Amino acid sequence: MIKEKWLDLVIQNPMLIEITRFRRRYTSASATSSMNGVVVLLCIICYATLLLVVIQNRTSISPIVMIFAQTAFLTVLAPMLLYGSISGERERRSWDLLLVAPITKPQIVVGKFMGAMAALGVAVILFQVPIEIAATSYDRSHWQSVLVADLVSVTFLMCVCALTILFSARVKRSLMALGATLGSLVTILIVFPALVGLGQSGPATDAAFFLHPFVVLSRIGDRDDAISRNGAGTVGPGTSQPDFPSNVPAPWWGWPQTLTYLGLTIVLLAWASNTLNFAENEVKFLPQGHKDA
């Protein structure tokens, strides 16, 4: 059963053509992707600059800071990649061709998701170079923390991808999907923390931000610092957690969020899949003025 699902959704999913399409979109020299080419070129310049800065200051830059930067950059990039994943198909009217084909809704959603993950995967791999340089040179870094922080980052990005697909599946226009996704992320990551921060301050707010990726990464960095200053056993379960600026125990930062993000990704993808309608409900998504609208 699980093997069949795995084959159906992943190995033999025809929507994996999305990986090729993502590759083409950002590497082809064709006219329509020339703007994408400019974006890629700018990214390469930024990446080279980042690499030089990290190499020059490798002893003073924490790998967690680099993972922080990776998360921030890719959190913005992921919606850009996926906002038209389903609403764009509707606008292009290629959606009808998928609807009349014997393909399942989960196959469409998972295929779109995997295409974006492949594109983000390349970005994540590129980010690993400065992260590893910082990790090998920064004296207060610990490999286990770097690995956990990276997992937090990647799983959070998966969650962002799933959220973007969900919005793309639920709205009529691609730009609405982009706006809704970025608006939600700004609310969750900036507005909500700012509002909570106005009412409370200090470590007590950590419980409220248990799933906030940047807070999680900060706490993993703080834990590294604490371990470096006081020794490995000082921030574990049952310890007094000296120098650890949080009311949530140190071991709770990392794995729990990773698993939560994974679960949330599955829920959001399933929700997106259930949103897709294979019959007349599609009519409501047709642009106004279309003869079937």
By the criterion CB under 8 A, which residues form the site for other proteins? 12, 14, 17, 20-21, 24-25, 28, 30, 32-33, 92-103, 278-280, 282-283, 291-292
In the complex, the smallest distance separating the C-beta of residue 94 from other proteins, rounded to whole angstroms, is 4
Residue 152 tokens read as 């937090």
Contact 118, 19 (CB under 8 A): yes
Tokens for 149, please give them: 């922080």
Distance CA 69, CA 50 (A): 10
What tokens does 19 get?
């990986």
Please report how close the Cβ of residue 32 comes to other proteins at its closest, in angstroms.
6
Would you say 108 or 227 has its CB closer to other proteins? 108
Distances in Å between the Cα of 120 and the Cα atoms of 73, 226, 285 are 11, 32, 28
Minimum CB–partner distance for residue 38 and other proteins (Å): 16
Distance of CA 122 to the CA centre of its chain: 13
- Give the residue with the Cβ less far from other proteins, 93 or 229: 93
Q: Least distance in Å: CB of 194 to other proteins?
A: 40
Q: How many CB atoms lie within 10 A of CB 78?
A: 26
Smaller CB distance to other proteins: residue 128 or 277? 277
Query: Closer to other proteins at the Cβ: 30 or 247?
Result: 30
Length of the chain: 293
At residue 37, what are phi and psi to the nearest 5 degrees?
Answer: -60, -40
Nearer to other proteins, 111 or 221 (CB): 111
- Cβ 293 to other proteins shortest distance, Å: 10
Helix, strand and coil percent figures for the chain, each rounded to 5: 75, 0, 25
Instruction: For the CB of residue 265, give the shortest distance to other proteins in the complex, in Å.
Output: 25
- Of 110 and 152, which has the nearer Cβ to other proteins? 110
Cα end-to-end span (Å), the chain: 40
Nearer to other proteins, 24 or 229 (CB): 24
**Burial category of 22 from C-beta neighbours within 10 Å (exposed 0-12, middle 13-18, buried 19 and up):** buried
Residues with Cβ within 8 Å of 79's Cβ and at least 6 positions away in sequence, in order, are 160, 164, 178, 181, 182, 185
Least gap, CB of 29 to other proteins (angstroms): 11
